[in-house]
Amino acid sequence: METEARVNKLIAGGDMRGAATVAITELGPRVLQYLRSLLRNEDDAAEAFSLFAEKLWRAIDSFERRASLRAWALRIAWSAALDIRSEAFRRRARPLLTSEASRLAAEVATTTVERRQQVLDELRASLTVEEQSLLVLRIDQRLSWAEIAQVVSGEEPAVTEAMLRKRFERLKAHLARLARERGLVG
């Protein structure tokens, strides 16, 4: 039986604990992947995942099926990531600047593949958290536009599928321009 159907059956039977357990256990790996992609820090991702699990556990009885279970869970994860990101910003000191010699040594020691990945990571880091989320939800999580709208829409105003498609097209053009500027593509 599909995860969502099992969770719905457990909720209907009043087994909220079982429903939350199934949702966290079965959706957890993809949610954690999403959080790692957004936060790019294993400790922050683990903390956000823990917060996600707590929020889902407390909210499972409010799952109204207006969105798919996966979209609803990713919406909770998005909220947890924003909470952790704002907390992480407050608790971290400014990182030390790398000296020119250290930067040069690191660059020389880095292979072409590693350097390319580093530039890709820098490109991703230059995006807003909303842009990163849109990329991860569409490409990594393979959500439909309707599901993405359910994840990123707050209470009001709702984000439409057309708005998301337009944002995604602008984002692709922006990334292509940045990739050309940094020599990733010709």
Instruction: Look up residue 185 and give its two tokens.
Output: 């593509």
Residue-wise pLDDT for 99-155, tens only, equals 444 444 344 444 545 666 777 778 888 889 889 889 889 988 889 999 999 888 865
| Domains contained in the chain, CATH given | 3-91 (1.10.1740.10), 100-181 (1.10.10)
- Contact (Cβ atoms closer than 8 angstroms) between residue 44 and residue 85: yes
Alpha helices in the chain (DSSP H): 3-12, 16-39, 42-59, 69-91, 100-109, 112-126, 129-135, 145-152, 161-181
Q: pTM for the whole thing?
A: 0.66
